[in-house]
Amino acid sequence: MVAKLREHLSTCQPTVYIFMTAQLIDGNTIAAKVRARVAEAVQARLAAGKPRPGLATVLVGDNPASQVYVRNKRKACAEVGIESFGYELPKTATQVEVEALVAQLNADPRVHGILVQLPLPEGLNEERVLNAISIYKDVDGFHPVNIGKLSMKGREPLFVPCTPAGCLALLEDAGARFKGANAVVLGRSNIVGLPVAMLLLHRDCTVTICHSRTKDLPAICRNADILVAAVGRAEMVRGDWVKPGAYVIDVGINKIPDATKKSGSRLVGDVAFDEVKEVAGYLTPVPGGVGPMTIAMLLQNTLRGAEHADCAG
Ligand code: GUN
């Protein structure tokens, strides 16, 4: 593989490269700094007699991955002094019941953020549930008003979706230069691909969004100064897809079989880490890259919700 990568590198401009492995962007450390700042701000609020920020999590059904995500989010809240209110509904819950819970949380002054864990069980209308969340408590940033503002020039959503915000924070921390950079986003999901593309556009990148119908993906990726992979396909981005020195953000979390592990599996990203680290300038690992940032941004958004409520009275 190294020979193949050397061949790829030799075809790139400029023609002389010093072979160096990418610098890892350590999401655990960067997220810990964000969490520490949030914890400090929560303590300052309490000392000033302001209410403790509160996050309501809504888990519908028994998707095991969603259960783990919600548990981790609530644990992270406790660690920074944010109160969390966990609501669980059975997978048989009706649309009316889910929306009634959201309405109750919209009216609850202890709640500054509402997170309805996705995906919802089949039969529930996700769009209608997300529309029902108050835009002032929409800490996921998925309400069409917040997404609409994110998609427009000169508008500021109150909340930016957590994973995309985390990707930008990682790039900033690593010193990425955005203005005029070619940014390629693999994936066009509402949760990651689309909003991260908008954020990169706001930072004056030239953004290409790729998807399952995109022709010659490797060639487009090779042009990327910033590459964000959010497709959910294990190790899809190969070493020879990457421009030497590029910033590569791997959003994927995929379980693949691994007989050497006790569990019989391991987690990998959408990026073939061992290959790409030989070419990229900066790279996020999986786990320990984007994952911890998503939760840190959720905490930051919940604090923002509480601060907004202070102003709104
Ligand atoms: N499911 C996967 N990612 C997310 C997220 O960021 N927020 C919510 N609510 N559900 C998710």
| Residue type at 202 in one-letter notation | H
Residue 117 beta carbon below 6 angstroms from any ligand 1 atom:
yes
CA of 63 from ligand 1 middle (Å) equals: 13
Question: Looking at 26, 43, 50, 73, which residue is catalytic?
Answer: 73
DSSP state of 271: B
| Confidence band of 312 (pLDDT split at 50, 70, 90) | confident
Average pLDDT over residues 292-311: 98
- Helical axes 64-80 vs 290-312, angle rounded to 10°: 60
Give residue-wise pLDDT tens across range 189-223.
999 999 999 999 999 999 999 999 999 999 999 99
Of 10-24, 35-49, 157-171, 260-274, minimum mean pLDDT range: 10-24
Regarding pTM above 0.85, the answer is yes
pLDDT computed for residue 13 by the predictor: 58
- Please, what is the average pLDDT of the chain? 95
Pocket test for ligand 1, best of 127, 163, 191, 299 (most atoms within 8 A of CB): 191
CA 28 – CA 162 distance, rounded (Å): 15
**What secondary structure, in 3-state letters, does 104-125 show?**
HHHCCCCCCEEEECCCCCCCCC
Which sequence spans correspond to the domains of the chain?
Answer: 50-139, 161-292
Torsion of CA 167, 172, 176, 177, to 10 degrees: 120
pLDDT > 80? residue 71: yes
Residue 18 has pLDDT above 60, yes or no: no
What separation in Å is there between the alpha carbon of 110 and the centre of ligand 1? 22
Phi (first) and psi of residue 312, to 5 degrees: -75, -15
**Confidence (pLDDT) at 1:** 61
Q: What is the pLDDT of residue 125?
A: 98
Nearest to 285 by CA among 19, 28, 69, 34: 28
Ligand 1 atom with the smallest distance to the CA of 115 is 9
pLDDT of residue 20: 74
Mutate to test the pocket of ligand 1, among 117, 147, 194 (most ligand atoms within 8 A of CB): 117
Residue 160 beta carbon below 6 angstroms from any ligand 1 atom: no
pLDDT tier for residue 41 given thresholds of 50, 70 and 90 = very high
Q: How far apart are CA 21 and CA 278, in angstroms?
A: 5
User: Probe ligand 1: pick from 140, 190, 290, 301, max atoms within 8 Å of CB?
Assistant: 140
CATH class of the domain comprising 161-292: alpha beta
Take atom 4 of ligand 1 and give the residue whose Cα is closest. Answer: 118
Q: Which pLDDT band, with edges at 50, 70 and 90, does 3 fall under? A: low
CATH code: domain 50-139 is 3.40.50.10860
Confidence of residue 5 (pLDDT cuts 50, 70, 90): low
Which residue of the set 138, 140, 240, 250 is catalytic? Answer: 140
Kindly name the residue from 117, 138, 240, 243 that is annotated as catalytic: 117
Does the fold of domain 161-292 match that of domain 50-139? yes
Is 117 marked active-site? yes
Q: pLDDT tens for residues 105-158?
A: 999 999 999 999 999 999 999 999 999 999 999 999 999 999 999 999 999 999
Tell me the Ramachandran region of residue 192: left when phi exceeds 0, alpha when psi lies from -120 to 50, beta otherwise: alpha
Does residue 238 register a pLDDT over 90? yes
Mean predicted confidence (pLDDT) in 50-55: 98
Average pLDDT for 169-193: 98
pLDDT of residue 265: 95
**Ligand 1 contact, 191 CB (< 6 A):** yes
